[in-house]
Amino acid sequence: MITHDEILDRQERAREAAEAAGYDALLVIGRSFYDRPGDLAYLTNHFPPFPSTVFTGEHRGLGHALFLLPVLGAPALVTDPRRHRADLVPVEDVRSSSNLMAATIALVRERGLDHAKIGLIGDDIMPAPMYRELRDELPDVEIEPEPILLSRMRMIKSPAEQEAMRAAALAADAALQAAISTIQRGRATERSTCATGIHAAMSAGADFVRYMRVHSGPWSALGSRWPQATDREIQRGDLVILDAIGAVEGYQFDVNRSLPAGPTDADRLQLLETVYRALEAAIDACRAGNRIADVVDAAKGVIDRSPFANAFGGMMGHGIGLETVEEPLLTAGDETELEAGMVLCVEPGLFVPNWGGALIEQEVIVRDAGPPEVITKTPAWLW
């Protein structure tokens, strides 16, 4: 859904930002397509296809790729031996190696950057052996971790990216609608509900489903992501949390829904309604010019007036795009200003140990003016 021209424009803007920051080049690392490919994929459209894997004498860095973007000169991509999709990646110089850092070091020397200042994007995911090798073999290179330059670009989604996010949200809707129908028919297990949701998302065009979380009854209060589902039969009156996470053409979806499995008691209905009202207040605050703190405070205002004030789950959401969890993170006191084009997952949750929990999540696109566009189609009120 993203054209080669848009990828090349990103590279050019990153070059300009690197030069303005005083770098001679950027070195960008990415990890497997379902994990942390974002920075690398943003600039190359390459998603490393293999899991990140143990280092051995011959194989060092499987499941990663590195992109060298000089301020002057042609860029180059270093992949593991699983290579790349040449039809998708608009980079002419692509090299594969079983030892990715050795190949990258050779590339830096070849480009005359062995006395340069290089901004390292993704140092938080670079394996320690690769980082040590980079430092040891290029002692005259000034390597500076660069956490802001590309993150800032990625936070504001282009029109094409916004369309990609809408398409991804439709796959999440397919998963959730199928899972909800399974629960409402009765006598379902968490596992059978999970399998139905995954099948529906893949049939709707998902690249993959990272997981389809189905937690019921007292397990709905844990907030744990593992295991994603068990053989537990969902009981009448249980609260059930559903969480569909995956991607369509690289762009992620992450949508939670909570519902009762048939009629439930008044206290659990009040828990669900409190979460729903908190969500509505938070979404209304997702307006350009507001702060992240304003969004969190809007939800907390609803929760603090309820009987569940001590059951708040903490972090209330995050950005989303080429990775499931991107900046900004929706946390109390964050002064980050919302801007048009940001895509956020807004997800207040309440969890009462050994009793039940509820979490409802919407994906929204911040607009130039007014409330955001809600791109998730699954009804949020399911009781």
CATH for 4-154? Answer: 3.40.350.10
Helix (H) or strand (E) segment spanning residue 208:
strand 208-216
Given CATH 3.40.50.150, say whether it is the number of domain 159-374.
no
pLDDT over 70 percentage in the chain: 100
Residues 6+ apart with CB under 8 A from 22: 117
User: What integer pLDDT is reported at residue 118 of this predicted model?
Assistant: 98
pLDDT computed for residue 223 by the predictor: 76
Q: Residue 223: CB partners within 8 Å, gap ≥ 6?
A: 313, 349, 351, 357, 359
347: confidence class by pLDDT, cuts 50, 70, 90: very high
CA 115, CA 102: separation in Å to the nearest integer? 17
Confidence of residue 314 (pLDDT cuts 50, 70, 90): confident
With bands split at pLDDT 50, 70 and 90, how would you rate the model's confidence at 225? confident
- Segment 200-224 shows an average pLDDT of 95
pLDDT (tens digit, 9 = 90+) per residue, 26-53? 999 999 999 999 999 999 999 999 999 9
Q: How much is the pLDDT for 101?
A: 98
CB contact at 8 A, 303 and 313: no
Round the average pLDDT of the chain to a whole number and report it. 97
Q: What is the mean pLDDT of residues 254-275?
A: 98
Per-residue pLDDT at 236: 96
Six-digit token string for 178: 């199928």
Kindly state the average pLDDT of the residues 347-369: 97
pLDDT tens for residues 154-199? Answer: 999 999 999 999 999 999 999 999 999 999 999 999 999 999 999 9
Q: What angle do CA 230, 235, 238 make, to 5 degrees?
A: 95
Average pLDDT over residues 283-292: 98
Q: 223-227, 250-254, 295-299, 348-352: lowest mean pLDDT where?
A: 223-227
Position 270 pLDDT exceeds 90: yes
Are 165 and 132 a contacting pair, CB within 8 Å?
no
Residue 313 has pLDDT above 90, yes or no: no
- What are the residue ranges spanned by the domains of the chain? 4-154, 159-374
370: left (phi over 0), alpha (psi -120 to 50) or beta: left
